[in-house]
Amino acid sequence: MAEFAAHVEVRHRPGIADPAGATVERALPALGYTNVTQLHIGKVIRLVVDAPDAGAARAQVEEMCERLLANPVIESYEIAVTALEPAT
Amino acid sequence: MTARVGVVQFPGTNCELDVAWAVEQLGAQAELCWHGDATIRGADAVVVPGGFAHGDYLRTGALARFSPVMTAVSEFAAAGGPVVGICNGFQVLTEARLLPGALQKNAGLKFLCETVELRVETTSTVLTNACAPGQVLRVPINHFEGNYVCDDATLAELRADDRVVVRYVDNPNGSLDDIAGICNAARNVVGLMPHPERASDELLGSADGVVLLRSLLAAAAEGARLAS
- Asked if A69's CB is within 8 angstroms of B151's CB, the reply is no
Residue B162, chain A, CB below 8 Å: the answer is no
pLDDT digits (tens, 9 = 90+) for A14-41: 888 888 898 899 999 999 999 999 999 9
CATH of the domain at B80: 3.40.50.880
Model confidence at B226, pLDDT cuts 50, 70, 90, reads confident
CATH of the domain at A48: 3.30.1280.10
Split into its structural domains, chain B has a count of 1
Its ipTM equals 0.81
Question: What are the residue ranges of helices labelled H in chain B?
Answer: 16-25, 68-78, 88-95, 152-160, 210-227
- Looking at residue B145, its pLDDT comes to 95
Catalytic residues of B: 87, 195, 197
Mean of pLDDT over chain B: 96
State the number of CA atoms in the 13 A half-sphere of B142 facing the CB.
16
d(C-alpha A22, C-alpha A39), whole Å: 7
CB-CB neighbours of B180 under 10 Å: 29
Q: Answer yes or no: is A88 within a domain.
A: no
Separation of first and last alpha carbons in chain B: 11
Model confidence at B31, pLDDT cuts 50, 70, 90, reads very high
CB B103 within 8 A of CB B117: no
d(C-alpha B16, C-alpha B6), whole Å: 10
Model confidence at A86, pLDDT cuts 50, 70, 90, reads low
Strand (E) or helix (H) holding B180: strand B179-183
In chain A, residues 41-70 whose CB comes closer than 8 Å to chain B = 68-69
pLDDT at residue A88 tops 60: no
- Residue of chain A nearest B91, judged by CA positions: A71
- Looking at residue B227, its pLDDT comes to 75
B190 three-class SS: strand
- Looking at residue B191, its pLDDT comes to 98
Residue A51 structural domain = 2-83
Model confidence at B108, pLDDT cuts 50, 70, 90, reads confident
Range scoring the smallest mean pLDDT among A45-49, B53-57, B223-227: B223-227
Range scoring the smallest mean pLDDT among A34-38, B89-93, B208-212, B220-224: B220-224
Nearest CB to B105: which of A19, A69, A73?
A: A19
Helix B210-227 / helix B16-25 crossing angle, nearest 10 deg? 80
d(C-alpha B191, C-alpha B163), whole Å: 11
Q: Answer yes or no: is A30 within a domain.
A: yes
pLDDT at residue B153 tops 70: yes
B16 three-class SS: helix
Separation of first and last alpha carbons in chain A: 8
Residue B214 structural domain = 4-227
